Amino acid sequence: MPRGRSVAAVLATIPRLRTALVTALSMTTTLTLIAGCASNGLDEAAEQSADRPTSAPPSAPAGPAESLGGWVAPGLDWTTCDDNDAFDCTMLEVPLDWDDLAGEQIELAVARHPADGDRIGMLVSNPGGPGASGLDYVFAEPFDESVSERFDLVSWDPRGVGRSTAFDCDDQVDEFLANDPDPDTPAEQTAIDSDAKAVADDCAANSPGLAANVGTDDVARDLEAIRVALGDEPLTYMGFSYGTLIGLRYLDLFPTKVRAIVLDGVVDPTLGFEAWLEQQTVAIDASVSRAFEACDDDPDCPVDDLAATYDKVQAMVEEEPIPAGTEELGPAQLQTGAVYVSYEQLLWPDLADALADAADGDGRAMLNLAKGYYDFGGYTAYAAVECLDSPVPVGSEAFRAFADRLRAISPRIGGSVANELLPCAYWPAPTGSIVGPVVAEGAPPVLVLGNRGDAATPYANSQRVADTLADGHLVSFDGEGHTSYGRSACVNKAVNAYLIDLDVPRSDPDCR
């Protein structure tokens, strides 16, 4: 499963849940629109606005950036964003390979909204993924007004994603993801292996440069390029979920370039591919079990035993798919829908209703939960990052043994967690490793948020990272779901005080 988008990505696919959460919290931070970000709105804007005045003057070229080996940022031409006229947009050209500054160049789509009041600087944010669109995130204006008044809000579509130079190898993805993630026959194993290799081969043929140069350190250097190109101010950054790994790697590479960094829903940089997915399997299984128990304790639960109902449905789809309108619910969609629910507690009642319907022969609601997960988008960018950042099991036999370990941890969802990344067993580019602790000596204080009920990025990650950083400060939230900002007034208060005044809590406020 993805290292995770912020909860906003989940709610973006279910409008009534967005409304419910905003009503409960009286906040706007969860209204992000991340799903469905594949179209290149900036290309359309360029075609449609030839005679439209720019909304901001061009940026003058900066001098050589010592932090990037002498890279010189180009001048930037800003226009009103085609997708949101409250923002300005530009394309920043950067090297495909940061070790070859004069080689092939790619484009990063960048958006900004100027501060409404007494400006402190720019706040750059990333919503996670890998594969999520930063532009769609920032267009929803996810920060409290007290923050947006003081900062230029800036985000970007990372390399390989959305409006930036993007992957062109999605043709085989749907067929691959439709395979049974728990193959129990030679034919099923052969099918999922073949389709996984087809995804990797497609990227090797159609996006070979990105397939080798989209790891997290490449993205962290892109973030430094954005900072330099937009005025060379010290970086204020907030990363959610996988966006925290970008922030941690930035801290490791450029610790003296930072003003303030918030990490929400933390990816532990000491965990490689296998250890990370093993830990995530444990946490997701526990979250799904809590969803089952919550229904069993609810007098309105549509079944007597939700865990038993899930197991019944799983046995049914192993025999044959369950009709779902004009489509079908199979093993892949069942497991994916269950994992999706672990991102947000508000989805737990939907899981109960969907499983009750599926047990009665109607798979539509359960299929819709799976589609909510698939609507995160950006699969090839997600897979590529995971395949490049740390060593992976290579080949069918080694990966099958890894998947078996995750199934032993969670018979319900372990296969899905593992085999979603089976293309890594055949990835066309060599794997590196960014695995290791980030201490960030010389960096300013870092605010680390951890949600005790977070299954996508377990709370223990935030604890370890806060302890490892030279100046890390933990803010705990006793909640459910993925990430913390926007779920609690206590968390928001701590974040806003830090971003605006650089105040860090004297001790963990232990938000409820």
What pLDDT is attached to residue 74?
94
What pLDDT is attached to residue 330?
97
Intervals of CATH 3.40.50.1820 along the chain: 4-167+233-270+440-501
53: which residues sit within 8 A by CB, 6+ positions away? Answer: none
What pLDDT is attached to residue 42?
38
Query: Which is nearest to 271 in space by CA: 385, 391, 406, 158?
Result: 391
Low-confidence ranges of the chain (pLDDT < 70): 1-62, 377
What pLDDT is attached to residue 407?
96
Mind telling me the catalytic residues? Answer: 241, 454, 482
CA 458, CA 460: separation in Å to the nearest integer?
6
**Is the separation of the CB atoms in 2 and 129 below 8 Å?**
yes
Look up the CATH superfamily of 4-167+233-270+440-501.
Alpha/Beta hydrolase fold, catalytic domain (3.40.50.1820)
What pLDDT is attached to residue 416?
95
What pLDDT is attached to residue 378?
86
What pLDDT is attached to residue 56?
52
What pLDDT is attached to residue 29?
32
**Is the separation of the CB atoms in 92 and 84 below 8 Å?**
no
Tokens 């803010």, located at residue? 475
Residue ranges of the alpha helices (H) in 326-432? 331-341, 348-359, 364-374, 379-389, 395-409, 414-419
Question: Is the whole model's pTM more than 0.85, yes or no?
Answer: yes
CA dihedral of 177, 182, 186, 188, whole degrees rounded to 10: -30
Query: Which is nearest to 199 in space by CA: 367, 411, 450, 379?
Result: 379
What pLDDT is attached to residue 471?
98
**Is the separation of the CB atoms in 17 and 31 below 8 Å?**
no
**Is the separation of the CB atoms in 212 and 427 below 8 Å?**
no
